[in-house]
Each structure stands twice: as structure tokens, then as C-alpha cells.
Amino acid sequence: MSSQSSTQPVIRDQQRQSIAATEPPQPARMQVTKMLTTKEAAALLGRPSSTLERWRCEGRGPDYVKEEGGVRYHQEHLREYIRRNTRTSSVRALVETKRGPF
């Protein structure tokens, strides 16, 4: 009987590890940054707010959140949109690859 009682904790630990391995991963925590209105986001991007409204209809532009009938933009999504759409002139890129950045 003593051998059975000593193996039970080991079996329970193995069962817990097995259950933990089959649980779905937890979603990453999203840090909520300041939410901007369409007008504020447009000012940040240097565009008229009508452009952002048109982009939403066309499925283009930065990601947005639709909440309770209003549209908001995360500041970080706008920054990421700017990063994704930043281009380096081909001449400058060629020079930098030959001699390195300034």
C-alpha cells in the first residue's frame, strides 16, 4: 500500500502536465493606447478626414475600431501604418547599400 501512495502524486503531476499541454494558448494582452477620432487620426496622417472615411469603405488605410456607432483609431495602429508605408528612395537605398548608412 505504501508503494501505491508514493506513485499517486507522480501520476497526478503527469495528469496536470498533460492537461496543461492540451489547453489552448492564452491570447496576448493588448496594451490599449490612446484612441483617436477620425478627425484626429486624419490630422496625424496629414490627410482630410474624408480620405480616411473613403479608405474604410474601400478596405484600405490603417486599422480601425468600430465601437457603439463611432470609429476610433489606436495611435499604435496609425504608427504601424506609417511604418508599413514608409519608402526609401531607390537612389538613396542604392547608395546606402554600397557605403552604409550616413
Residue 29: its pLDDT value, please? 66
- Sheet strands side by side (includes 35-36): 35-36, 70-74, 65-67
With a cut of 90, say whether residue 74 has pLDDT above it.
yes
pTM over 0.85: no
Average pLDDT, the chain: 80
**Vertex 74, ends 68 and 57: CA angle to 5°?**
65
DSSP result, 28-54: PPPPP--EE-HHHHHHHHTS-HHHHHH
Instruction: Dump pLDDT digits (tens) for 3-53.
Output: 555 566 666 776 666 666 666 666 666 666 789 999 999 999 999 999 999
The count of other CB atoms within 10 Å of the CB of residue 64 is 19
Pairing of strands 35-36, 65-67: unpaired
